[in-house]
Structure 1
Amino acid sequence: MRWRILSLLFLARIGLGFQFQTVASVGGDLVVAFGLDYVDIGFLIGLFMAPGLFLAIPAGYWGRYVSDRVMVVFGLSALAAGGAASSLATDSWAIGMGRVFAGIGFLFTSLYFTKMVADWFEGREIATAMSILVMSWPFGIAMGQVGHAWLSQTYGWQVPFQAASVYCLIAALGVFLFYRPPHDLPYADGGKRGAMTTQEWRLILCAAAAWGVFNAAYVTYLAFGPKVLEDHGQSAIAAAGIISIGSWIMIFSGAACGQIVDRFGGRNIVLAVCMGGAIAALPLLSLPGAGFGASMLFGLIGMAPAGVIMAMAGQAMRPQVRAFGMGIFFTVYYAIMLVTPPVAGAILDATGNARGPLWLAMILFATVVPLGIAFQFFKYAPLTGQEKTV
């Protein structure tokens, strides 16, 4: 049953990446239609993430009173409504408002999809399950990269937003009709048992920081890796294609990595090896003719533990407090994701060299390992008397 539920959630979660990719795919058309520049396009892309910084904790708290299924259906419906609003826009600010509303839906769905998988797979192949779930995001983006550009060219820039909205509505209907919670899930009541312990706070902060720096490094690679290749004479299209190889490969390497950790353990050893691969891949981009190999290494090894890191969030808390804890998790994640791109851009402005931001990415990847070690230390540290009674 749990694998059928995971398949349902994977298919539904594709809609997040599919809707996110709309502005990036039709950015050139929006520049022409509304007289924007690419700073404006970047701002519109970023608006998708903005609500998470402010609403993640309230969204997690509301989970004590509203079912996960209702939360996800609301989130997918908000994604659909936001995309529809953007498609009807006659001015750029209206597109932005649609993106903000879609971003609210993105927050709710991201939080509760993760919680649902943690509830179903706690103690049973959770790293594999999280790896599969996480890969729905690049899968949706890849669908958008292929489909949105064609739809925009054939039917106009509005249609990609509408197509993504229809997908999200179908996904919402599917979750509403077919999702069921596990039968043995404890009720999230109040009182002492509804409050996070000191250990759970430490664990979720470690997991959130690891997930945040890992994704911030990945986004820095996607944003500035192509510029490094362009400095070696690659065209913009060819450079983007080479960098995208890593994202395609990680769809498969991520599931394999999760299976390895579930079967054999050794999460921190896997993290150390994979982060070493990610760090090694970034300088390789600077070597003439090594871009393809660097991207292969990055996707096959460096990005493989995405689900393993996400699984730490599910292992950090009891089911009774998992919704609220996920709110903490995503607040930290959004804060790191908000700060990192401007810092990377400032490094590029200061150095005038596209390799500068990649050094920041290397530092961020390296930080994942000590955070994983800290998570394991807090997980198995002796509990205090207060925590034993909670």
Structure 2
Amino acid sequence: MQSRWAVLALLFAVRTTMAVQFQSIAAMSPIIMQEFGFALADIGLLIGLYLAPGVVIALPGGEIGRRFGDKQVVLFGLLLMIAGGAMIALLPEWHWQVAGRLISGTGGVLLNVLMSKMVTDWFAGKEIATAMGIFVSSWPIGIAFALFVLPGVAVSWGLTVSHLLILCMLFAGTVLLAALYRSPPAQAVGPALGTWPAGAALWAVIVAGGIWGLYNAALGMIFGFGTAMLAEKGWTAAAAGHVTSLAWWLIAVSAPAGGFIGDRTGRHTLVMIGGFVVLALLLIVAARTEYAIAAFVALGMGGLSAGPVMSLPARVLEPRTRAIGMGLFFSVFYLAGVVAPVVAGWIATDVGTSRATFDFGAAMLVLCCAANWLFSRLSERVKAETGMGLVAVTPRSSPP
């Protein structure tokens, strides 16, 4: 497989299975609570456990990939996801459910960190923002798929069958990746010697990780608290869930669109900041309007910034610092992903309404704008220190 776009399609498909597994607990939560007697707090813990390993695994994950090879470590991560998923499917006791989510989440971290690096390796200096926009849209597609498919399967054939369906998807992804993925031609000879980013590059990739973490945390307010907010307005749980999922289907379209616009115009920062501002305003409006369906459809524009944000590390990381640098990037991202929902829950409890979480999401997007100003200053220093200028370029007529 030598075409970078074919590689992207493969990685997209494999990462979608991770999103389905992540969202499976939330998607089937009413059935899980009824069948096993779990409380809402238990469901929340199981959801959070999937991301929690990222805080400590993301950084060494990048180094592990450098030492043993990206493809081999991603395959190992997929096997961990299958093992954890099998525990959840076949062992309903609480401690096995916790262990299964932690094991699955650990595999998911390895998948997320190293597959993002693999996309960067194939597209750095080319259509990086478009590629990253397409790649990250696998997450909302997987979440939307889980919301639409898994509850129906669980109701008709049981929870075990739903979990086994996820395992089949993971197994198919493992086979496809093992059979088809190849490293870029420049790296075909083996893993490159890796080093830590230093100086301005180190701080720039940390700031970029903070931007990605805050941005995703703001988006997380939609699927994390959107249903509860609509329920406060009198919507049934089922109807609120369907309306909330509208935003995710459309984010899957707006994410690659934002990357494509950035690459075609060369104005990645403008697309990114514009996306932050638009999403912040839409969150504030969605929390207050009575036209919920229109508001959540409009929130589907929230993916516009995704591609430009995910292209930031390529601007400051050289090939030899990319493995560890992407580990740093995702360590900060996972930290924000774990902390932000907890803070949002505290705020909502203190204020007395889930609407406050959408306002909190808007505030995080304002911080993203400020952090991007800092990243721009640091990236200029990186360019001065190293002479590198790894930026996404306008698509050109070059061989795939």
State the TM-score bracket (shorter-chain normalisation): over 0.9
The worse-fitting range, judged by mean Cα deviation, of 176-185 and 221-230 is 221-230
Identity among equivalent pairs (%): 30
Quick one: which amino acid aligns to residue 353 of structure 2?
N
**Could you tell me how far apart the structure 2 residues matched to 1:326 and 1:69 are?**
15
- 2:32 alignment counterpart: 30
Alpha-carbon displacement from aligned partner over 1:121-148 (angstroms, at most 9, x marks no partner): 0011100000111011111122222221
- 2:155 alignment counterpart: 153
**Could you tell me how far apart the structure 2 residues matched to 1:311 and 1:383 are?**
16
With over 3 angstroms needed to count, the CA separation of the structure-2 counterparts of 1:249 and 1:28, relative to structure 1, is same
Matched, 1:256 2:257: yes
- 1:318 alignment counterpart: 318
Quick one: which amino acid aligns to residue 141 of structure 2?
F
- 1:233 alignment counterpart: 234
Confirm or deny: 8 A CA contact 2:143 2:248 kept in the other structure.
no
**Could you tell me how far apart the structure 2 residues matched to 1:114 and 1:74 are?**
16
- 1:365 alignment counterpart: 365
Alpha-carbon displacement from aligned partner over 1:44-65 (angstroms, at most 9, x marks no partner): 1111111111111111111221
User: Aligned match of 1:133 in 132, 135, 142?
Assistant: 135
Quick one: which amino acid aligns to residue 83 of structure 1?
G
Using the size of structure 1 for normalisation, the TM-score is 0.93
Alpha-carbon displacement from aligned partner over 1:274-296 (angstroms, at most 9, x marks no partner): 11211111222244432222222
- Structure 1 residue 311: Cα displacement: 1.4
Confirm or deny: 8 A CA contact 1:225 1:285 kept in the other structure.
no
Secondary structure of the 1:381 match is: helix
- 1:111 alignment counterpart: 113
Quick one: which amino acid aligns to residue 179 of structure 1?
Y
- 1:307 alignment counterpart: 307
- Structure 1 residue 166: Cα displacement: 1.5
- Structure 1 residue 384: Cα displacement: 6.8
Confirm or deny: 8 A CA contact 1:188 1:321 kept in the other structure.
no
Alpha-carbon displacement from aligned partner over 1:174-199 (angstroms, at most 9, x marks no partner): 11111011111396555xx7232212
Confirm or deny: 8 A CA contact 1:115 1:314 kept in the other structure.
no
Alpha-carbon displacement from aligned partner over 1:20-74 (angstroms, at most 9, x marks no partner): 1221222223223322111101111111111111111111111221111101111
- Structure 1 residue 236: Cα displacement: 2.5
With over 3 angstroms needed to count, the CA separation of the structure-2 counterparts of 1:265 and 1:95, relative to structure 1, is same
Secondary structure of the 2:353 match is: coil
Q: State the Cα RMSD in Å.
A: 1.9
**Could you tell me how far apart the structure 2 residues matched to 1:232 and 1:349 are?**
17
The count of corresponding residues between Structure 1 and Structure 2 is 385
- Structure 1 residue 105: Cα displacement: 0.8
- Structure 1 residue 84: Cα displacement: 0.8
Matched, 1:338 2:343: no
Using the size of structure 2 for normalisation, the TM-score is 0.91
Confirm or deny: 8 A CA contact 2:69 2:191 kept in the other structure.
no
Confirm or deny: 8 A CA contact 1:284 1:291 kept in the other structure.
no
Confirm or deny: 8 A CA contact 2:63 2:323 kept in the other structure.
yes
The worse-fitting range, judged by mean Cα deviation, of 162-171 and 239-248 is 239-248
- Structure 1 residue 5: Cα displacement: 0.6
With over 3 angstroms needed to count, the CA separation of the structure-2 counterparts of 1:384 and 1:120, relative to structure 1, is closer
- 1:197 alignment counterpart: 198
Secondary structure of the 1:123 match is: coil
Confirm or deny: 8 A CA contact 1:188 1:320 kept in the other structure.
no
**Could you tell me how far apart the structure 2 residues matched to 1:360 and 1:66 are?**
41
